[in-house]
Chain A
């Protein structure tokens, strides 16, 4: 359930973009070496093989939102330290480090935006901030996203990339699962659409709360989406997991998501769904 259950770190290419042009990178899929710029131009999708590499929050806004911009809500919310948690390094120190490294306050951004002319309430997890883990602030912001969308009569588009609940806030992180889903319940009662987009990875407490309760569930190709981490499952059942287990295509085959959508088609597909459900 926890956020940092071993998930293979993937290069956050867009963050290295600042290193400048001419920097070369190897594709995680085909192994081809290309310029960082050619990845960036293609929203971190490999132009050779179509492998999806991690895209920054800023990249997602440019990809999906009209004018590449949104009106952010509740940016000021910051975490507290309810358990005085420490594992050698204190939780507040970890938060401060994450804030420095990402120049974000927390692991999600929410706000009002427009997508292909459709007004939406938009949320996106920042995996680079403590593995996109959901503690009290992330839970609060998601609850506010659903509540405010309900009041302002907007459909919700939420991009998940999270290892799950944040261990450092203990049981309060667990409670965010109930809080967010209850708020989603109000959106549903108001007959407003929820398009859930599962990026790599979407696991643990985020998967087991709202992420698979979309009116339409979408996942990126090869995104890992599941409840328990593969390593935990292998230890439990003492056998090797099949190739492609818990990947987006596996979920599609087992009826858990509606569509596997390439990043480059994402805006078009979501906008179409939103128009159909308007």
Chain B
């Protein structure tokens, strides 16, 4: 699948040349210098082009069909993942994947609970996973497994990538509101370290339901806000096609979230965005995640709960 956004065209072309040359060179030392020169050129071009991306361009990158999804990170930075299914009430929601794993990889790894929104690649899988939009069962599964992690003292690591909770008839019948509210409540009380990573779309309450963490990381090209630019546009101007304009007033970028204290750190993406190099994106996220967990080392259960409470308690813009 080759999808190239208009503004990333020059990078895509150059990256393709790098890949062609690499294949041709087959590790031949004579091409090494030329390869390195080209790679540096890609990086500097990407830096230049991406320096002043508009909020809407970042939204588009966050939804790039070639962007790594939760599972792509899971494969690269966790060991021994075993997926656990079901909400024990009604069903299993494939839009949220969760289970036990070891983190980080290698001898220092320890058991953790990892939970994330999962989008599908290709139409069939995308539909099966309702485009990463969870039903109540997804949130109830997440809540069940967070409670399990709490009982066994396992840190919780979440990956956020959803356009929002699924707006459906069944979802309402089965209590979408309550399911999200309970997730927020349970997460706020976990007696273990919790780190959330926004890796793609952070769509509203459906995203926040996995986001009540001690540390919140976000990749560089994500959106995280109370409403999508499209929905915002359709409310403001009765016209969903004005999403670009809506993004410019809504400012749903990682940069704005950092300024407002909503996230703690922006994780830089590889040149041209995470979709250009999944391995490099995973490595960068991995190292930020390790640091975030290390910063919570040594806190007691009570301190962890307090730390999270104070973090969210302080968010807001109020004039007294």
- Tell me the bound Cα distance from A245 to B173 in angstroms: 9
Q: Are A170 and B250 in contact (CB under 8 A)?
A: yes
Taking the complex as formed, is A155 at the interface, i.e. its CB lies under 8 A from any CB of chain B? no
Q: Which 10 pairs across A and B sit closest by C-beta, in order of nearness?
A: A136-B316, A228-B167, A182-B188, A80-B317, A207-B177, A82-B317, A227-B176, A175-B315, A174-B226, A208-B180
Evaluate whether A167 and B227 lie within 8 angstroms (CB atoms) in the complex, with A174-B205, A256-B175 already known. Answer: yes
- Tell me the bound Cα distance from A172 to B174 in angstroms: 28
Q: Which of A13-21, A31-39, A43-51, A83-91 contacts B (4 or more CB under 8 A)?
A: A83-91
B246 → chain A, closest Cβ, in Å? 8
Sorting the interface of chain A by its residue count into under 10, 10 to 19, 20 to 34 or 35 or more gives 35 or more
A-B contact pairs, 11 of them (CB 8 A): A82-B260, A82-B317, A83-B250, A136-B316, A136-B317, A176-B315, A178-B184, A204-B205, A207-B181, A208-B180, A237-B168
Evaluate whether A175 and B262 lie within 8 angstroms (CB atoms) in the complex, with A227-B172, A236-B168 already known. Answer: yes
Secondary structure class of chain B's binding surface, majority of residues: helix
- Tell me the bound Cα distance from A83 to B212 in angstroms: 22
Listed in ascending order, the chain B residues whose CB lies under 8 Å from chain A are 164-169, 171-178, 180-182, 184-185, 188-189, 204-205, 208, 211-212, 224-227, 231-232, 235-237, 249-252, 256-257, 260, 262, 308-309, 312-313, 315-320
Q: Are B208 and A177 in contact (CB under 8 A)?
A: yes
Q: Are B171 and A227 in contact (CB under 8 A)?
A: yes
- Tell me the bound Cα distance from A236 to B227 in angstroms: 16
A210 → chain B, closest Cβ, in Å? 7
Say which residue of A166, A178, A212, A245 sits within 8 Å of B211 (CB atoms): A178
Q: Are B252 and A233 in contact (CB under 8 A)?
A: no
Q: Are B205 and A205 in contact (CB under 8 A)?
A: yes
> Which chain A residues in 147-185 approach chain B with CB under 8 Å?
165-167, 169-179, 181-185
- Tell me the bound Cα distance from A211 to B179 in angstroms: 12
- Tell me the bound Cα distance from A211 to B319 in angstroms: 25
Q: Are B317 and A213 in contact (CB under 8 A)?
A: no
Taking the complex as formed, is A246 at the interface, i.e. its CB lies under 8 A from any CB of chain B? yes
Taking the complex as formed, is A140 at the interface, i.e. its CB lies under 8 A from any CB of chain B? yes
Taking the complex as formed, is A276 at the interface, i.e. its CB lies under 8 A from any CB of chain B? no
A166: nearest residue on chain B (CB-CB)? B226
- Tell me the bound Cα distance from A254 to B171 in angstroms: 11
Complex interface: chain A residues within 8 A of B176 (CB): 208, 226-228
- Tell me the bound Cα distance from A104 to B211 in angstroms: 33
Evaluate whether A171 and B262 lie within 8 angstroms (CB atoms) in the complex, with A2-B231, A182-B188 already known. Answer: yes
